[in-house]
Structure 1
Amino acid sequence: MGVWSNGLCGCFNNCSLCLVTYIAPCYTAGKNAQAVGNNMAATLLSYLLIAPVGMFLAAKARQKIREQKGIDGTFGGDCLVHLFCPLCALVQDAQEIQPAAQAESMARE
């Protein structure tokens, strides 16, 4: 099975993403959810208004990322990461998605 392309504490590999996530974690959570086919608005609003529900939805997005990329782990582990280190988890999720999103963007041009 695969591993994450960036470590959990690899936030500063993309400083702009790290800064956006620090200022507005709900936005990054929503974008991550959208990238894996989940509802962006529901995740963004719940992360902003009802943090435990937002973290659960962010963990569901992380689970989909793991399944798509063949990364080892469990949903329980995803929930714990989003509970104890939410900003690092959001950045790690976004960094895992980002190469695919950049390739898709370049394919459109």
Structure 2
Amino acid sequence: MADYESGFDANGDEYAPLDSPTERLIRSQHISDSQNPQAWSSGICACCDDMRSCCLGLWCPCILFGRNVEVLEGRPWTGPCLMHALLWSVAAGVGCSVTHGTLFGLLVSCVPCYACGYRKILRSKHNLEDAPCGDFLTHLCCHQCALCQEYREIYEKLNSNSGFSLVPPSNQTMEGHPIPAASHELPSQ
């Protein structure tokens, strides 16, 4: 039986015997990253910074939500958009018919339940700080503003220079012979 090195992680838990030093390093970096979350690129009330997302979030929040999910999960935006619209319309219909609109905000809470999960995915993916009131209350109290903030954050991350660049290798050789530069012309026959 092999002799494994024993150690403890940041939580004080003992490492499993199959943890490699690389796995321990990755886990310790993840723990330290989660302890230092980054600030959002814009505030929740900065909707007017991007008028396109502001108008879309105000009048068609289901489309903005679908677009956010499309980028986060890489699936078509139409499914989440339709689910958001269905939840919103059912909640609005029930809220208005049963309570004559007085408890509308409480019944619409199924929409923030659905949307706050994606806000949490966005925060964990980009190590963003949590709002003082949490993801659910952010969506319950300021649903359209939260969607706009998430949209701005997603596209800020997509458009920012991530420090990676694709540079082709300069000189490639094949068994000591240089490879000619790619030509757009087809060889003559």
Measured against the shorter chain, the TM-score band is 0.7 to 0.9
**Greater relative contact order structure (CA < 8 Å, 6+ sep):** 1
Match of 1:55 in 2: 112
Query: Which among 141, 164, 167 is matched to residue 84 of structure 1?
Result: 141
Shift of 1:72: 2.1
SS at match of 2:79: helix
User: Which has more radius of gyration?
Assistant: 2
TM score, norm. by length of structure 2: 0.49
**Unpaired segments of 5 or more residues in structure 1?**
none
- Map 1:26-37; keep pairs closer than 5 Å: 26-37=62-73
Q: Structure 2: which 5+ residue stretches go unaligned?
A: 1-36, 89-108, 166-189
Task: Name the amino acid aligned to 2:78.
Answer: A
Residue 53 of structure 1 deviates from its aligned partner by 4.0
Residue-pair matches, total = 104
Q: Report the RMSD for the aligned CA atoms in angstroms.
A: 2.4
Give the deviation of 1:38 after TM superposition. Answer: 6.6
Distance in 2 of aligned mates of 1:41 and 1:65: 19
**Equivalent residues of 2:68, 2:150 under 8 A apart:** yes
Question: Is the CA contact (8 Å cut-off) linking 1:8 and 1:89 kept in structure 2?
Answer: yes
| Structure showing the higher helix proportion among its residues | 1
Residue 44 (1) aligns with residue 73 (2): no
Partner residue in 2 for 1:14: 50
Equivalent positions of 1:62-101 (< 5 A) are 62-73=119-130, 77-101=134-158
In 1, the alpha carbon distance for the partners of 2:155 and 2:62 equals 17
Give the AA of the match of 1:93. Answer: E
Identity of aligned residues (%): 26
TM-score, normalising length: structure 1: 0.81
